[in-house]
């Protein structure tokens, strides 16, 4: 009796195991059917999300699920026959188990189908990112179980490679190089076209594209970092970024703002190369490097920084990756050049480099401690030099003087007494619970962190010292009160994501090695493959819903949605009207502009925004953009100080009736030479004092 009962229990257990195993083919079949139905019925997805489908439509979905199950059963049969060919007999249970593991990626299909719902990324962005993560987990699970042996992970290979195999081995580096160049070129072309189209759609502003265009023009004409739009006529009143002076000779190739947009896109595209090199070096496989390069090119925060006009901070992204590649491979000369280049990008970059130096010291790898100490010493010295000599404010937030643009308002909730950086430190010390609520309870900040880290599987947070080197950027973005600082459509994410990409391969290696030390003996190569599959799948999905390459409901390049690859008829007409007026302004003439048109005429020595109230040769305005300056401008027109040259759509070009003298042209030695243009040398108009509503640079 006991033997019969034991036998019955064994059979019952086997039936239960078999029944549980059969659940997965049913789920996979339903996933395939649901995804196929969703692709064919996109217009019904919003109704489905509210569970309002009619009965007939639900029955159609059930039929699609049945068809999906049939397709999945064919896949299981294929696995069964492949297994028979390998072992010489049919093993139904083994084939079923293999299929359940290898086909788990099919569970990503219904998630992808749910993301087809138009506007889901806008109505529920956090859930959208989490759904992308769920789909990526399913793909990673399948990737983990690919291959012939779940224990050794040693694939079968013939004793002698075929001729085709040997040819592929020799062509591998060449093919990889061509693929990288192609990825770089594709990124540079796509983002350049988007950026220039957006500029021609009049979605850029004097603040900040016009500022930087004017800096390039002045720098290449002998006035390093000169900018007539800002306090003191020099960009150091906002940021000290001499890398712009080094790049300014390139501006002569095409001295207009469009050049800056193309330069920035091509420069950022260069980052696919060090991203690949770090992945290949650390993980010792080309496929890993290419996954990292592709994830970089797809990254939404990179697209946002790229398409928010032009900023010196944005240029740091590929330089950080080069820095870590040179550090990883102990190429000390290249590392030193990268350190110097990063310091030249912006005055606060040395603070981030101090954390990189500390990271190098803590790794305890041969030669790293010395490099880290030298990095910290150089960064501290450079920061002191930049602040003490070249910038009017010595405070990190540019506070304490009216000659600089203060960024204290970025952190106004941590500045109850408006005392600059010291007030922030005091709040951190005396009210930590407020700081924690401020940093982590804002849903926009939660969404920001998810979009930053889900494409990388949150692995940077697991890397040795990973949180350390990202600490500066995370503190700036999480402690900020100003929303653009923690949104992916702005340049501030460049303080975080390049460091995250740099440490991700090392984090993958650490996780894989830790898994290999477990008692169940998980093969490190399989863990690595699974994590890379997660990164690839998550990057594709998050880029689809939050990046720039595919149109979606939420991507912003700065404060507004970008124009896509082609101008509309209205945009094309307005751009033509604006260019017709700009072309009437002599290259050496001074001009006063409103914000929206300034970046189209900023390639000259003397260009000013309306709030500066300068007497200039020309005034170019968009009527709806006059704002607080309308009364002053209209008064000048009534007094006869300005005469209309031409109206074109919403734009008007005025000429000063008694224009100011032309600015002195630089001589060969860089000193001023007397003006020679008689049309620009009449008696100047008396200038009223500037008003106090000057908008600061975006930082």
Instruction: Render 201-239 in DSSP notation, one character per residue.
Output: TT---IIIIIHHHHHHHHHHTT-TTB-TTSGGGBGGGT-
Instruction: For residue 291, tell me if it sits in a domain.
Output: yes
HSE of 525, CA atoms in CB hemisphere, 13 A = 13
Where helices occur in 248-367 by DSSP H, the ranges are: 257-269, 272-283, 286-298, 300-307, 316-328, 332-345, 349-363
Task: Answer left, alpha or beta for residue 670, where phi above 0 means left and psi between -120 and 50 means alpha.
Answer: left
Q: How far apart are CA 136 and CA 210, in angstroms?
A: 41
- The Cα 608–Cα 660 span in angstroms is 14
Domain tally for the chain? 3
Can you give the pTM of this predicted structure?
A: 0.88
331/441 same-domain check: yes
Matching residue, tokens 């160049």 = 181
Q: Is residue 426 domain-resident?
A: yes
> Does residue 123 lie in a domain region?
no
269 and 376 in a common domain = yes
Q: Which residues contact 560 (CB under 8 A, 6 or more apart)?
A: 203
Same domain, 603 and 520: no
Check whether residue 186 and residue 98 sit in a common domain: no
Question: Do 542 and 573 lie in a common domain?
Answer: no
In a shared domain, residues 261 and 330: yes
Q: Is residue 451 part of a domain?
A: yes
- Looking at the fold, whether 243 and 299 belong to one and the same domain comes out as yes
Do 404 and 271 fall into the same domain?
yes
User: Last residue of some domain: 56, 85, 118?
Assistant: 118
Place of tokens 């990288």: 180
pLDDT under 70 in the chain at which residues? Answer: 1-22, 147-171, 419-420, 518-522, 659-699
* Structure tokens given for 297: 């090119």
Same domain for 106 and 178: no
pLDDT in the model for residue 674: 38
- Classify residue 140: in a domain, yes or no: no
- Confirm whether 315 is domain-assigned: yes
Domain that holds residue 652: 569-680
Cα separation, 260 vs 250, whole angstroms: 10
Closest CA to 79 of 99, 65, 107: 99
Provide the 10 A C-beta neighbour count for residue 367. 11
- CA 359/CA 232 separation, integer angstroms: 38
- With respect to residue 263, please indicate whether it lies within any of the assigned structural domains: yes
Q: Cα-atom radius of gyration of the chain, to the nearest Å? A: 30
In a domain, residue 102? The reply is: yes
Which two structure tokens, joined as six digits, stand for 13? 């257990």
Same domain, yes or no, for 305 and 425?
yes
Tell me, yes or no, whether 575 and 465 share the same domain: no
In 10 A of CB 264, how many CB atoms? Answer: 25
294 and 425 in one domain?
yes
- Using left for φ > 0, alpha for ψ between -120 and 50, and beta otherwise, residue 451 falls in alpha
């Amino acid at each position: 009796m006991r033997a019969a009962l034991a036998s019955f229990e064994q059979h019952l257990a086997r039936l239960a195991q078999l029944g549980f195993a059969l659940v997965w083919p049913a789920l996979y079949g339903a996933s395939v059917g649901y995804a196929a139905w969703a692709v064919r019925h996109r217009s019904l997805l919003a109704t489905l999300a509210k569970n309002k489908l009619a009965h007939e439509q639900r029955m159609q979905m059930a039929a699609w699920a049945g068809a999906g199950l049939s397709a999945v059963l064919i896949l299981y049969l294929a696995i069964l026959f492949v297994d028979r060919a390998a072992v010489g007999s049919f093993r139904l249970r083994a084939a079923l188990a293999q299929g359940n593991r290898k086909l788990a990626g099919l569970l990503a299909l219904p998630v992808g189908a749910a993301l087809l719902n138009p506007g889901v990324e806008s109505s529920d962005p956090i859930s959208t990112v989490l759904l992308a993560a769920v789909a990526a987990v399913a793909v990673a699970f399948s990737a983990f179980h690919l291959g012939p042996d779940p224990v050794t992970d040693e694939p079968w290979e013939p004793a002698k490679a075929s001729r085709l195999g040997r040819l592929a081995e020799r062509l591998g580096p060449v093919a990889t190089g061509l693929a990288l160049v192609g990825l770089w070129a594709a990124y540079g072309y796509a983002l350049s076209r988007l950026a220039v189209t957006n500029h021609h759609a009049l979605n850029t502003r004097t603040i900040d594209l016009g500022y930087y265009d004017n800096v390039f023009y002045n720098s290449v004409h002998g006035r390093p970092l000169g900018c007539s739009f800002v306090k003191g006529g020099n960009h150091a009143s906002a940021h000290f970024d001499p890398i712009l002076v080094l790049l300014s000779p390139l501006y002569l190739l095409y001295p207009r703002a469009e050049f800056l947009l193309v330069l920035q896109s091509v420069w950022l595209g260069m980052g696919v190369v060090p991203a690949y090199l770090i992945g290949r070096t650390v993980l010792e496989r080309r496929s890993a490097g290419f996954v990292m390069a592709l994830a970089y090119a797809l990254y939404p925060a990179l697209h946002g920084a790229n398409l928010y006009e032009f900023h010196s901070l944005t240029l740091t992204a590929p330089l950080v990756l080069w820095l870590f590649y040179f550090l990883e491979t102990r190429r000390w000369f290249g590392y030193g050049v990268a350190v110097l280049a990063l310091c030249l990008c912006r005055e606060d970059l040395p603070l981030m480099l101090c954390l990189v130096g500390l990271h190098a010291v803590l790794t305890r790898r041969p030669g790293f401690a010395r490099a880290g100490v030298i990095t910290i010493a150089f960064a501290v010295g450079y920061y002191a030099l930049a602040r003490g000599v070249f910038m009017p404010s010595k405070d990190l937030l540019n506070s304490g003087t009216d000659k600089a643009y203060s960024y204290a308002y970025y952190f106004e909730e941590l500045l109850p007494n408006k005392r600059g950086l010291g007030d922030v430190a005091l709040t951190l010390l005396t009210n930590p619970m407020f700081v924690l609520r401020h940093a982590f309870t804002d849903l926009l900040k939660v969404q920001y962190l998810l979009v930053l880290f889900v494409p990388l599987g949150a692995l940077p947070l697991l890397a040795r010292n990973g949180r350390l080197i990202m600490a500066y950027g995370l503190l700036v973005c999480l402690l900020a009160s100003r929303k653009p600082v923690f949104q992916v459509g702005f340049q501030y994410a460049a303080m975080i994501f390049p460091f995250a990409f740099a440490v991700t391969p090392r984090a993958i290696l650490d996780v894989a090695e830790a898994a290999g030390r477990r008692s169940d003996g998980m093969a490190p190569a399989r863990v690595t493959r699974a994590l890379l599959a997660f990164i690839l799948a998550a990057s594709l999905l998050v880029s689809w819903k939050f990046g720039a390459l595919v149109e979606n409901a939420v991507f912003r390049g700065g404060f507004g949605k970008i124009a896509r690859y082609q101008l509309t008829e209205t945009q094309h007409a307005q751009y033509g009207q604006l260019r017709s007026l700009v072309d009437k302004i002599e290259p050496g003439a001074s001009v006063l502009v409103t914000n929206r048109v300034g970046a189209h005429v900023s390639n000259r020595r003397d260009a000013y925004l309306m709030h500066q109230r300068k007497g200039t040769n020309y005034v170019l305005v968009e009527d709806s953009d006059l704002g607080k300056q309308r009364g002053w401008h209209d008064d000048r027109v009534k007094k006869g100080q300005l005469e209309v040259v031409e109206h074109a759509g919403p734009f008007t070009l005025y000429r000063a009736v008694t224009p100011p003298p032309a600015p002195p042209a630089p001589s060969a030695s860089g000193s001023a030479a007397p003006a020679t243009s008689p049309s620009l040398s009449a008696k100047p108009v008396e200038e009223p004092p500037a008003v106090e509503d000057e908008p600061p640079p975006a930082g």
